[in-house]
């Protein structure tokens, strides 16, 4: 419980920071440079740590190193989806197209990271579980989450750039976030058990594994920040052109 | 004019259209019958233990059938240009949504009762083992499907490729309704006690989507 609260707290801080940044579009776009430099530096550090610091796990071998890519993707993807809802609420409240651009930019980058989770997971699972996929709580709910936000992106490509279409998409983005707890609960009910390893902190990782993992979280968050800011810039240019 | 009266007027209008044209409801009933017959025949050719999949399959059949009806719930308004008149109503437009969702709910309940009857005839399903729980699952499931379906149908009404868009938007979000409802009906048919956890979660889900629909529809129309 305490751990869940800690995760929620970090998520809330990240969402608040990103919301503050996104509130001023020019500021968000300007921040891309800082984010890019930070992301590059941190990615280099993270990569070095994964290669040289992190040990080769005894039971699973080299394939365990996917962990350092797979796990940091998850909170970043969630952040993208929460920001989609934030952008949606912002648009419905203020009727300012800039919030809609925030929503679509974060949804796109969120889906990218969610795709990475879904790709790296099976690559690890095949040698370790001997299956590419099992219908387990985490896997299934992540897949459904991916479908929800892929549908959101599909909705965006099909609808025209009117305020009506923006309101549609905003509501769907909010619906998606509201549905996440139910999806999680429903899948839990349908499976009743999970094969997926529990959250890393619970297992008491040694420092040689914890450091690359934490670096991964921060580096991927910066990558998200950078891609989000650049995508926002593209969206703004598109809006100016049309 | 106050809100509830607007909702009732919209509901009455939609029901009248359904009853007089018989298009929407008629097609749904025929479609449901076809799907149930197909399920019965295919299950007969497969292994005996496939019968355990019966109730979830019935819910999937019901989902596909309701998709047909939901997709058309705003068709009359958009095709005949009545949309503007409908939303000019001088109350909170959430009531229009409630009326629309109510009409869809009644249509879905008819389809559900029909599907349940077909299941009794063709698949030997015995609803009398726990009629209360089965009814509860049916009503709560239909409420979830009609609220979410009506809202998403409004979202996709004016989009291109709306016949693709609605299922793609609806299916991932409706998953909890299917799981909870199938759980309640499964327990009921097995003669066990009411799956309270699922019933509670389903009721909460219905409530959240009713609320988002009510609030969201207004801002949707506003745009």
**3-class SS letters over chain A:** CHHHHHHHHHHHHHHHHHHHHHHCHHHHHHHHHHHHHHHHHHHHHHHHHHHHHCCCECCCEHHHHHHHHHHHHHHHHHHHHHHHHHHHHHHHHHCCHHHHHHHHHHHHHHHHHHHHHHHHHHHHHHHHHCCCCCCCHHHHHHHHHHHHHHHHHHHHHHCCCCHHHHHHHHHHHHHHHHHHHHHHHHHHHHHCCCCCCCCHHHHCCCHHHHHHHHHHHHHHHHHHHHHHHHHHHHHHHHHHHC
Percent of chain A with pLDDT over 70: 94
Residue A37 confidence (pLDDT) above 80: yes
Residue B220 confidence (pLDDT) above 80: no
Is A163 part of the contact surface with chain B (CB cutoff 8 Å)?
Answer: yes
- pLDDT top residue among B156 and B222: B156
A159-185 residues labelled b (16+ CB within 10 A) or e (exposed): beeeebbbbbbbbbbbbbbbbbebbbb
Q: What is the mean pLDDT of residues A152-177?
A: 85
Q: Which of A92, A186, A189 is opposite residue B219, by nearest beta carbon?
A: A92
The ipTM (two decimal places) reads 0.81
Cross-chain Cβ contact B151/A187 below 8 Å? no
Scanning every residue of chain B, which has its alpha carbon at the shortest distance from the alpha carbon of A176? B173
User: Rounded mean pLDDT of chain A?
Assistant: 87
**Shortest Cα–Cα distance, B20 to chain A (Å):** 31
Can you give the pLDDT at residue A1?
65
pTM of the model: 0.86
Could you give the C-alpha distances from B221 to A128, B113, B155, in angstroms and in order?
52, 33, 10
Q: What is the mean pLDDT of residues A23-28?
A: 90
Per domain, the residue ranges of chain B are: 3-222
Cross-chain Cβ contact A187/B179 below 8 Å? yes
Q: What is the mean pLDDT of residues A51-75?
A: 87
Longest dimension (CA), chain B: 59
Q: Which of B165, B179, B219 is opposite residue A186, by nearest beta carbon?
A: B179
Q: Which CATH number fits domain A2-241: 1.20.120, 1.10.357, 3.40.1130, 3.40.1800?
A: 1.20.120
Q: Residue B14 in 3-state DSSP? A: helix
Cross-chain Cβ contact A158/B205 below 8 Å? no
Q: Which of B152, B205, B220 is opposite residue A167, by nearest beta carbon?
A: B220
Q: What is the mean pLDDT of residues B15-19?
A: 85
Q: Residue A173: its chain B contacts at CB < 8 A? A: none
**Shortest Cα–Cα distance, B22 to chain A (Å):** 30
Can you give the pLDDT at residue B206?
93
- pLDDT top residue among B165 and A116: A116
Residue B17 confidence (pLDDT) above 80: yes
Tokens of B222: 């506003």
Q: Residue B197 in 3-state DSSP? A: helix
Residue B22 confidence (pLDDT) above 80: no
Scanning every residue of chain B, which has its alpha carbon at the shortest distance from the alpha carbon of A153? B169
Which residue is associated with the tokens 């009411």?
B194
Is B216 part of the contact surface with chain A (CB cutoff 8 Å)?
Answer: yes
Residue A108 confidence (pLDDT) above 80: yes
Can you give the pLDDT at residue B150?
92
Query: Nearest Cα to A104, choosing from A122, A120, A85?
Result: A85
Cross-chain Cβ contact A186/B160 below 8 Å? no
Model confidence over B184-216: pLDDT tens digits? Answer: 888 888 877 777 888 998 999 999 989 989 988
How many angstroms separate the CA atoms of B114 and B29, rounded?
A: 7
Q: What is the mean pLDDT of residues A218-236?
A: 94
Q: Which of B165, B176, B219 is opposite residue A155, by nearest beta carbon?
A: B165
Cross-chain Cβ contact B223/A147 below 8 Å? no
- The answer for A 6-35 residues in CB contact with B (under 8 A) is none
Is B78 part of the contact surface with chain A (CB cutoff 8 Å)?
Answer: no
Model confidence over B115-142: pLDDT tens digits? Answer: 999 888 888 888 888 888 889 999 999 9
Q: What is the mean pLDDT of residues B19-48?
A: 82
Is B163 part of the contact surface with chain A (CB cutoff 8 Å)?
Answer: no
Choose, out of B176, B177, B198, B218, the residue to mutate when testing the contact with A (most A CBs < 10 Å).
B176
Can you give the pLDDT at residue A226?
96
Confidence of residue A191 (pLDDT cuts 50, 70, 90): low
Confidence of residue A199 (pLDDT cuts 50, 70, 90): low
Phi, psi of A236 (to 5 degrees): -70, -40
How many angstroms separate the CA atoms of B200 and B23, rounded?
A: 35
Can you give the pLDDT at residue B23?
79
Residue A200 confidence (pLDDT) above 80: no
- The answer for B 127-156 residues in CB contact with A (under 8 A) is 148, 151-152, 155-156
Model confidence over B64-117: pLDDT tens digits? Answer: 999 888 888 887 777 777 777 777 888 888 888 999 999 999 999 999 999 999
Cross-chain Cβ contact A155/B201 below 8 Å? no
Can you give the pLDDT at residue A100?
93
Can you give the pLDDT at residue A222?
95
Confidence of residue B24 (pLDDT cuts 50, 70, 90): confident
Choose, out of A89, A111, A145, A158, the residue to mutate when testing the contact with B (most B CBs < 10 Å).
A158
**Shortest Cα–Cα distance, A133 to chain B (Å):** 19
Q: Residue B161: its chain A contacts at CB < 8 A? A: 158
Is A118 part of the contact surface with chain B (CB cutoff 8 Å)?
Answer: no
Question: Within 10 Å of residue B13's Cβ, how many Cβ atoms?
Answer: 16
- The answer for A 55-114 residues in CB contact with B (under 8 A) is 92, 95
Q: Is B124 exposed, middle or buried (0-12, 13-18, 19+ CB in 10 A)?
A: exposed
């Amino acid at each position: 419980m305490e751990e869940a609260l800690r995760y929620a707290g970090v998520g809330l801080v990240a969402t608040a920071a990103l919301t503050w940044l996104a509130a001023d579009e020019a500021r968000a776009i300007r921040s891309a440079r800082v984010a890019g430099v930070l992301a590059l530096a941190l990615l280099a550090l993270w990569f070095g740590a994964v290669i040289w610091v992190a040990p080769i796990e005894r039971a699973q071998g080299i394939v365990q190193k996917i962990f350092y890519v797979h796990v940091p993707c998850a909170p970043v993807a969630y952040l993208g989806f929460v920001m989609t809802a934030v952008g949606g609420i912002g648009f419905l409240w203020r009727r300012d197209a800039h919030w809609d651009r925030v929503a679509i930019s974060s949804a796109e980058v969120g889906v990218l990271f969610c795709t990475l989770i879904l790709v790296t997971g099976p690559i690890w699972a095949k040698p370790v579980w001997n299956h590419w996929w099992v219908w387990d709580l985490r896997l299934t709910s992540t897949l459904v989450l991916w479908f929800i936000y892929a549908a959101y992106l599909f909705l965006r490509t099909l609808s025209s750039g009117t305020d009506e279409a923006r309101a549609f998409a905003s509501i769907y983005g909010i619906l998606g976030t509201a549905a996440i707890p139910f999806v999680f609960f429903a899948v839990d009910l349908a499976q009743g058990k999970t094969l997926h390893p529990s959250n890393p902190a619970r297992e008491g990782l040694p420092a040689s594994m914890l450091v690359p993992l934490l670096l991964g979280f921060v580096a991927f968050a910066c990558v998200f920040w950078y891609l989000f800011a650049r995508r926002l810039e593209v969206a703004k240019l598109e809006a100016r052109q049309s | 004019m106050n809100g509830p009266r607007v909702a009732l007027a919209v509901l009455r209008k939609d029901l009248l259209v359904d009853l007089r044209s018989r298009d929407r409801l008629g097609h749904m009933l025929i479609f449901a019958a076809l799907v149930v017959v197909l399920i019965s025949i295919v299950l007969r050719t497969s292994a005996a233990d496939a019968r355990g999949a019966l109730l979830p399959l019935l819910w999937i059949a019901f989902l596909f059938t309701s998709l047909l009806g939901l997709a058309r719930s705003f068709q009359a308004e958009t095709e005949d240009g009545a949309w503007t008149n409908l939303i000019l109503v001088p109350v909170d437009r959430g009531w229009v949504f409630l009326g629309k969702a109510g009409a869809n709910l009644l249509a879905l309940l008819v389809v559900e009762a029909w599907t349940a009857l077909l299941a009794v005839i063709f698949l030997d399903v015995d609803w009398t083992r726990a009629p209360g729980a089965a009814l509860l699952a049916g009503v709560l499931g239909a409420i979830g499907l009609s609220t979410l379906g009506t809202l998403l149908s409004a979202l996709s009404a004016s989009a291109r490729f709306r016949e693709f868009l609605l299922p793609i938007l609806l299916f991932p979000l409706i998953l909890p309704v299917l799981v909870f409802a199938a759980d309640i009906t499964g327990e009921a048919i097995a003669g066990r006690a009411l799956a309270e956890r699922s019933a509670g979660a389903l009721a909460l889900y219905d409530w959240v989507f009713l609320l988002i629909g009510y609030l969201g529809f207004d801002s949707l129309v506003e745009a």
